[in-house]
Structure formats: structure tokens, C-alpha cells
């Protein structure tokens, strides 16, 4: 039963990963620029709040004011994913007597947390004959919930990568977990461990971790020889392998290997793409910060205006 349970937990993990990645998408149906940081557990609550300021629940929320038209509606996708995750959790409960206490608790906490909010609330609400709209149509207020769900995602990830593979029809996903474990160790700069787990492997991702770890360990000649072999074995353009080399930007030694095994044209195209992606991400972060500040200021001004009307005291200052 263990491989079947691990497989179901892996499917929950993958779907939950898509869910917690949603706040960081700059366009739908495209992976987030900081996806690796999400895997590595490097995302903060403040990050979630910041990028949720670029999101809203529905298309109607985009019509609330001029700034809202820049928001990305993700409520429908979140609703669908949360329902799928709940369905997966209910399915795994069929094997309840085979689950560990940790697995049961994790599933329960995920189910409870992901149903904290409704993700497709109406943008307009009629109250006593008056049409009410939110001052802040963004999803920033869900930042804490997303962060807590993200912590559960990381717990589930740690549980899964600690599982030993089984030789059966479900074995392929264990290989994916193996790669994820290697990636986590690499992000933690455990290069010797990574080297032990990747040396001699045929998989392109594992090979890339191998020569990169060798390079960081100062075994430069060995690393460059393996890198050159790696590049000769596959015919991919450098631009499609930029994820393996973007950390070595401006490294002349590695540049020489890349140019010699491909071409200067390919190298420059890869470099341009890396820079454009970084620039776009910084622009997206700036836009998120501006939108967040706009709605925080709008809310503060609204509160002060109402306080002036009512003669209320705010922060020990009386508005009359």
C-alpha cells in the first residue's frame, strides 16, 4: 500500500504547489520566475502579501477603479484547484488505516486551511439598498492564509523526499522526488551530498547538478570536462538550458566552454533572455509594490475621511 499512498500524496503535493504559486504568476499558464525559491522554502509571508496585491478574485473586481484594471483574476482557478485537492484528500482517506499520524494530520490541516476563504466572492454587494464595493479589490488580505498553506506544502515536500523508492508501476514519481531532493540540497549548498547523489546519472537535470556542484567545490577541471561532455551529448540550444547556467553569469571560464561547444550567438541569446526575465521580474515587483501602496493609502484616507465626519479619535488625534 505504501507506493499507492505515496503516489496519492505526491499528486496532492503537486496540485498544492500550483496553488501556492498562483500569487506569483505575472501571466496565467506560465511558471513563476521565483518557482525555484518556492520549492526551496525561501518565500516569506511578505512576499505573498506583496504579489497578492496584483491579483483579484473575479473579472468584476477589475472594474472597481482605474488601478484595478491591472489586476489578474485568479479566483476561478483557485476554486477549481482547492476542490481538486479536497477530492484527493478524501480519496486518500480510503486508506486511512494505512496512513501514519503525520500523513493524516498534514492532510487535515491542508483541507482546513485551503477552505478558509471563498475565492470567487461578488465584487458588488447590496446593503440596505446601497451598492457596496471593496476599497481594496486585491487579494492581499489572504497573504497569511497562503503563507500558512505554503508551510504545509513544505512539510509535505519534506515528508515525500524522505521516502524510499519502490520498484513498481508508480516508480516514476519517486524519480521526480529524487530530483526535488537533490535540488533542495543544492539550494542549501550541500554540494558533496549532491555530488554523491548525481555522479554517473544519465538524467539531464541530475547531470547539471553534478557539474555545478563540482564547480562550487573547486574541482574546476573535472567540472568543465563533465560540462563539455554534457553539452556535446544533447543538442539543446543554450537558451533552453539557461536555468542550469544563469547562476554563472559573467563567469568567463564557463562562458568559454559554452561558446566553444555552441556559439557566441547562442551564448548572447541566452544572456539576453536571462537579463530580460530578470528585468521583467523586477518590473513586476515594482508594479506590485505600487499597487499595494495605492490601496493601503486609499484605505487610510477613507478611514480618516469617515473619522472627520464622525469626529472620531484615531491614533490619539481628534478629527473635527
- pLDDT tens across 161-173, in order? 998 766 555 568 8
Spatial CB neighbours of 143, under 8 Å, sequence gap ≥ 6: 45, 46, 48, 49, 52
Task: Decide if 264 is inside a domain.
Answer: no
Share of the chain above pLDDT 70, in %: 93
* Look-up of cell digits 473579472: 59
Residue 285 within a domain: no
99 near 5, Cβ under 8 Å?
Answer: yes
This prediction has a pTM of 0.90
pLDDT tens digits for 2-19?
888 999 999 999 999 999
Question: N- to C-terminal Cα distance for the chain?
Answer: 70
Residue 89 lies in a domain: yes
pLDDT in tens, 286-312: 999 999 999 999 999 888 787 666 554
CA distances from 221 to 75, 129, 205, 225 (A): 51, 76, 20, 6
Q: Is residue 298 part of a domain?
A: no
pLDDT for the residue numbered 292: 97
| Angle CA 24–26–67, to nearest 5 | 100
Rounded mean pLDDT of 31-37?
93
63 is written with which cell numbers? 472594474
Q: What pLDDT is recorded for position 319?
A: 34
Residue of 140, 117, 126, 127 whose CA lies nearest to 67: 140
**29-38, 124-133, 204-213: least confidently modelled range:** 124-133
Residue 243 lies in a domain: no
Domain annotation covers residue 41: yes
Q: CA 137, CA 53: separation in Å to the nearest integer?
A: 9
Residue 130 lies in a domain: yes
Instruction: Compute the mean pLDDT over every residue in the chain, rounded to the nearest whole number.
Output: 91
Domain that holds residue 76: 2-179
Higher pLDDT, 38 or 131: 38
pLDDT tens column, 104-123 = 999 999 999 999 999 999 98
Tell me the average pLDDT across 311-319. Answer: 42
Is 291 part of any domain? Answer: no
**What's the total number of domains in the chain?**
1
Amino acid at each position: 500500500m505504501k507506493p499507492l499512498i505515496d503516489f496519492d500524496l505526491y499528486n496532492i503535493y503537486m496540485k498544492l504547489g500550483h496553488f501556492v504559486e498562483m500569487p506569483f504568476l505575472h501571466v496565467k499558464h506560465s511558471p513563476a520566475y521565483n518557482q525555484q525559491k518556492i520549492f526551496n522554502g525561501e518565500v516569506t509571508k511578505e512576499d505573498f502579501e506583496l504579489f497578492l496585491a496584483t491579483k483579484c478574485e473575479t473579472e468584476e473586481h477589475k472594474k472597481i477603479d482605474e488601478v484595478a484594471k491591472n489586476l489578474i483574476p485568479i479566483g476561478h482557478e483557485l476554486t477549481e484547484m482547492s476542490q481538486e485537492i479536497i477530492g484527493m484528500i478524501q480519496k486518500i482517506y480510503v486508506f486511512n488505516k494505512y496512513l501514519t499520524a503525520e500523513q493524516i494530520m498534514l492532510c487535515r490541516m491542508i483541507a482546513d486551511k485551503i477552505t478558509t476563504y471563498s475565492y470567487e466572492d461578488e465584487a458588488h454587494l447590496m446593503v440596505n439598498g446601497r451598492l457596496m464595493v471593496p476599497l481594496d479589490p486585491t487579494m492581499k488580505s489572504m497573504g497569511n492564509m497562503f503563507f500558512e498553506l505554503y508551510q504545509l506544502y513544505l512539510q509535505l515536500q519534506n515528508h515525500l523526499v524522505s521516502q524510499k523508492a519502490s520498484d513498481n508501476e508508480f516508480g516514476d514519481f519517486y524519480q521526480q522526488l529524487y530530483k526535488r531532493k537533490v535540488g533542495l540540497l543544492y539550494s542549501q549548498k550541500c554540494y558533496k551530498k549532491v555530488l554523491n547523489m548525481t555522479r554517473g546519472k544519465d538524467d539531464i537535470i541530475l547531470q547539471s547538478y553534478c557539474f555545478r556542484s563540482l564547480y562550487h567545490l573547486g574541482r574546476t577541471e573535472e567540472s568543465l570536462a563533465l560540462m563539455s561532455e554534457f553539452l556535446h551529448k544533447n543538442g539543446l540550444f543554450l537558451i533552453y538550458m539557461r536555468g542550469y547556467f544563469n547562476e554563472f553569469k559573467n563567469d568567463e571560464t564557463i562562458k568559454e566552454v559554452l561558446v566553444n561547444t555552441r556559439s557566441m550567438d547562442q551564448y548572447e541569446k541566452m544572456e539576453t533572455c536571462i537579463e530580460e526575465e530578470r528585468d521583467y521580474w523586477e518590473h513586476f515587483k515594482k508594479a506590485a509594490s505600487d499597487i499595494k501602496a495605492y490601496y493601503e493609502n486609499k484605505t487610510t484616507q477613507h478611514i480618516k475621511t469617515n473619522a472627520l465626519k464622525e469626529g472620531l479619535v484615531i491614533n490619539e488625534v481628534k478629527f473635527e
